[in-house]
A and B are shown apart, each in its own frame.
Chain A
Amino acid sequence: MTALGHLPTPANTVAPERDEGHRRGPAGYLLMIPGTVWLALFFVLPTVTLAASSLYDPSGSLLNGYQMTWHWQNYTEALREYAPIFLRSFLYAFAATVVCLLLGFPLAYAIAFKAGRWKNLMLVAVIAPFFTSFLVRTLSWKFLLSDNGFIVQTLSSLPAVPDDLRLLATPFAVITGLAYNFLPFMVLPLYASLEKMDPRLLEAAGDLYASPVNGFLRVTLPLAMPGVVAGTLLTFIPAAGDFINDELLGNPRTRMIGNTIQQLFLQAGDVATASALSVTMMVVIVLMVLVYVRKAGTEDLV
């Protein structure tokens, strides 16, 4: 608390302000209207239709129409058929999140504490890739990892590496692509957390005979936890549903759930199964987030 907060303030100057605040009540609700309408139109309505179409009678067709018959077997069938792909998506997303955390933490730390006058430039460098399209950036990875490209050719000329080394169209390429594309979403929240940290706390830890490692584990890391939680969520959730990286960098055996849903909706026209998969995906992610936020205990930090 600042010193100002402790200054005695004359009651008569505060009270009217509060009253005014109460009178502004209806205005607040009015201001909520655009947001509420937006949410209803673009979130609630699509979610309801999605849930409904996941319960369509699977024998429906465009010609005869689809009936909502509470056919919950769509879910069991979708899961029986596509459970391995679900598992794979979460695995890839998890791997990409770990890579992002390992790369992002030192980077965010460096920007927050060590960059000095280069701080803004480094931040711009993190954000700059957003100025080009996601698709173009992923396509350039395709070029970088190409079988006849510089990287693969150089690596396979090394003695310990097999001559027919391949990077593109492998799980490695997919995870690399995911990690690359979502790295800024990890770095920015981490930076926001670390930047608020008072460096004198570390000095104090040192004064109390904490080793640098101990200081990091007991001071820096706990204070960075909100950033870690936010960053991992922001990386993991979109990565699990991503389909561009696998589409461009993967092979048929690296299919992720996003690709399957897209394929079922647009190519096979299997609306019911595709919706069932989408709903399952949403539910699983929400549950994972709940458990994670609870375990990570950010509430304790607030």
Chain B
Amino acid sequence: MPRIRRTRPVLPPGLVASELSRRSFMRSAAAAGGLGIGVPSLLSACGTEGTGQTAETCKSTDRSSSEKELVWSNWPEYIDVKGKQLPTLEDFEKESGIDVTYNTDVNDNNEFFAKVQNQLGDCQPVNRDIIVLTDWMAARMVKLGWLQKLDHANLPNVDQNLVQNLQGPDWDRKRDYSVPWQSGFTGIAYNKKYTKPVGSFEELMTRPDLKGRISLLKEMRDTMGFMLLLAGADPTDFSDNDWQKAIEQLESGVSSGQIRRFTGNDYVDDLNNGDIAACEAWSGDVIAMQYDNPDIEWVVPEEGLALWSDNMLVPNKAYHKTNAEALMNYYYEPETAARLAAWVNYVCPVQGAKEAMEKIDPSLVDAPLIFPDEAFLAKAFSFKSLDESTAKQYDTDFSQAIG
């Protein structure tokens, strides 16, 4: 058979263009290989130094007296808003004369850490005076020596009004580096339009009618705290053996198809439209959802409640530490704290705010998710703090378990 004379094919630019025949491709691959032989010495130079800092290796200067300004990075929807204004923050600016730049660029602890780790590890400024991070990440930053020590002489309200149970976490006994911004509980939420009530993690992980309709959180400490409880261990103090059992608990939930997804904040949409009937959820999110969707219920799991806080921190080389302390102190005035709590719906860490709330919104005074009482707090646990290598091991185990 005579072969058809083939016309020259025209390929889209940048592709296997006609000039790039297999031979030239091989040639360039060989060239790249040759380059590879030259690079081992280069490769060896690619290790990194330790990134720990101390007050001696990384000194910060304070320009607060001459520069009345402050840059603050916080999580989205974590401050009171009125239209386009931020009432409590604007009152602070008026009162103190400090100009605050408010950014909501913290979406995820790990992601934010990745964003600042090169600068902070190298003692470079990150151009932020206050950052807000969750306990375990704050603990990590304290250990790395990336934070400035706060001067409690500038924080009289914090010393006076910080609630008892948050006064001395094991990673920052004297609150030298951190001041809680808001706290919250991790529990269970369900959509009653799509499922019968759910009361415990036991039910969440085993009930056949919930198969493939539940989600857990990607935050290792939140989820594993409950898995440890299911395995009969105490999340505040457990052994490696307990940890293994808890991981197996999680793996069985994944392999049986009980767990549909691991999520961040995005469980909110799935729960709203019923793709997820019940899930592990953060208290403040759920209260906010309830305003729009009365079918959403939040329950205290029978196993207990995870309690966590997000903390205001001043990173190394932030130039406005005194201004930052003024802001922290301001938010520990009970009236201000109550105005804030009425909007964000998270657990308020300020004593006296409950009384102040009566003037602002009496319906919230008895809300246990904003002002929990002793009995409520007795059910709450915090995850034990981990050293760097254990944390890495556990994080890896957790990543492998969730798929």
What is A's interface to B at a CB cutoff of 8 Å? 44, 48-49, 51-53, 55-56, 59-68, 81, 146-148, 166, 168-169, 188-189, 192-193, 196-198, 201, 218-219, 222-223, 225-227, 229-230, 233-234, 251-255, 259-260, 263-270, 273, 286, 290, 293-294, 298-299, 301-302
Contact = CB atoms under 8 A, between A and B. Distances in A.
B16 A48 contact: no
Interface in B367-403: 388-389, 392, 395-396, 398-400, 402-403
Given A252-B402, A301-B6, 10 more contacts: A48-B43, A52-B43, A52-B44, A146-B274, A227-B9, A233-B16, A252-B261, A255-B403, A260-B399, A267-B110
A168 to B, nearest CB: 6
Contact of B143 (A63, A68, A193, A269): A63
B262 interface: yes
Interface in B3-43: 4, 6-12, 15-16, 18, 21-23, 25-26, 29, 35, 39, 42-43
A230 B29 contact: no
B87 interface: no
19 contacts: A44-B35, A49-B46, A51-B43, A52-B44, A52-B46, A62-B117, A147-B213, A147-B274, A169-B275, A196-B7, A218-B4, A223-B9, A229-B16, A253-B403, A264-B396, A266-B110, A270-B392, A290-B22, A290-B25
Contacts of A148: 273-275
Interface of B: 4, 6-12, 15-16, 18, 21-23, 25-26, 29, 35, 39, 42-52, 110-111, 114, 117, 121, 143-144, 212-213, 218, 220, 254-255, 257, 259-262, 273-275, 388-389, 392, 395-396, 398-400, 402-403
B399 A267 contact: yes
A197 B215 CA distance: 52
Given A56-B47, A62-B388, A259-B403, A293 B25 contact: yes
Contacts of A52: 42-44, 46-47
Contact of B261 (A166, A169, A265, A266): A169
Contacts of B9: 193, 196, 223, 225-227, 301-302
Given A148-B275, A166-B212, A263 B50 contact: no
Contacts of A168: 275
Majority DSSP secondary structure for residues of A touching B: helix
A299 B12 CA distance: 16
A299 B48 contact: no
Given A219-B4, A234-B15, A68 B47 contact: yes
Contacts of B261: 169, 251-252
Contact of A188 (B12, B39, B49, B274): B12
A299 B9 CA distance: 11
A251 B270 CA distance: 13
A277 to B, nearest CB: 12
Contact of B47 (A67, A147, A192, A265): A67
Contacts of B26: 290
Contacts, number: 170
B43 A252 contact: no
- A-B interface, 9 closest residue pairs, ranked by CB to CB distance from nearest: A52-B46, A252-B403, A255-B403, A226-B9, A268-B395, A65-B50, A68-B47, A52-B43, A67-B47
A124 B174 CA distance: 64
Given A68-B47, A148-B273, A230 B254 contact: no
Contact of A59 (B23, B45, B213, B389): B389
A242 to B, nearest CB: 15
B22 A192 contact: no
A302 B46 contact: no
Contacts of B15: 189, 230, 233-234
B388 A61 contact: yes
A122 B52 CA distance: 58
B12 A192 contact: yes
A63 B52 contact: yes
Contacts of A254: 403
Nearest to A273: B396
A254 B254 CA distance: 11
A148 B400 CA distance: 31
Given A63-B143, A266-B114, A230 B11 contact: yes
A268 B10 contact: no
A59 B50 CA distance: 12
B6 A63 contact: no
A294 B42 CA distance: 33
